[in-house]
Every structure is written in structure tokens, then in C-alpha cells.
């Protein structure tokens, strides 16, 4: 981690724990966020789940849970923050997990929030 106060800690790929990743993706809102990130990085302001606004504090909690589990990377991007899926790290540590968990059919079948 660099000396910038805007940097956030992220677990190393070798330190990712399957149960932490699965827990992070077990919430429908976090699962939806991860699915949206398969299309590419988003600025934090664009990370709101579809189907209604959630409080900023709830979104922050979801992003923190995903980051601490190693599912996403949250980095400074100008005056904003950019969130991206750690696809390569997750695929190298747990091959096939993202394809299985982030299946569009599963996301569509998850209960609405």
C-alpha cells in the first residue's frame, strides 16, 4: 500500500479465502454489484444497485465487504473512486468460481431487495 491516505487495503491474491468471498457474494445487492462489474470498472457513484436507491452508508458497507474479501479493488480515480472486479486474482485462486457464481441466470433468479 502506498503512503496516500486515499489508498485502501486489499488482500493479496494468495491470501483470498473462499468462505470470505462466498460470504461477500451471498448478499443479493453485493452479488448484483459484482455482476455489474463483470462489464468493467465503475466509479463509486455508478455502483448503485438497479431497482431503487440504497443509502450511501449501505453502499459503502457493501463495497467494503467486497473489498475486504478480495472480490473488488477500490482505487482513487481523479477526485472519485473506481471499483473493479478482481477477476484475474479470483480466477487464479478459485478457478471457475466467478463463472459459476456470477451467472446471469442466478442473478435474475435472486430475490428482489
Residue with more model confidence, 49 or 79 = 79
Structure confidence at residue 106 (pLDDT): 53
Beta-bridged to residue 84, according to DSSP, are 73
The pairing of beta strand 80-85 with beta strand 72-77: antiparallel
**For 5-26, what is the mean pLDDT?**
91
* C-alpha radius of gyration, the chain, whole number: 14
CA 61/CA 26 separation, integer angstroms? 14
Structure confidence at residue 81 (pLDDT): 87
Q: Which three cell numbers stand for residue 37?
A: 462489474
Q: 24-76 pLDDT, tens per residue?
A: 999 998 998 999 899 899 888 766 655 557 788 888 899 999 999 999 999 98
Q: Work out the burial of residue 97: count CB atoms within 10 Å of its CB; fewer than 13 is exposed, 13-18 middle, 19 or more buried.
A: middle
Amino acid at each position: 500500500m502506498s503512503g496516500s491516505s486515499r489508498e485502501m487495503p486489499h488482500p493479496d491474491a494468495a491470501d483470498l479465502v473462499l468462505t470470505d468471498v462466498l460470504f461477500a457474494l451471498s448478499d443479493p445487492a453485493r452479488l448484483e454489484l459484482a455482476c455489474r462489474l463483470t462489464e468493467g470498472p465503475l466509479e463509486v457513484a455508478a455502483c448503485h444497485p438497479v431497482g431503487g436507491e440504497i443509502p450511501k452508508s449501505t453502499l459503502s458497507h457493501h463495497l467494503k465487504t467486497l473489498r475486504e474479501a478480495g472480490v473488488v479493488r477500490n482505487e482513487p480515480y481523479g477526485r472519485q473512486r473506481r471499483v473493479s472486479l478482481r477477476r484475474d486474482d479470483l480466477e487464479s485462486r478459485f478457478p471457475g468460481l466467478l463463472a459459476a457464481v456470477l451467472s446471469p441466470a442466478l442473478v435474475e433468479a435472486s430475490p428482489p431487495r
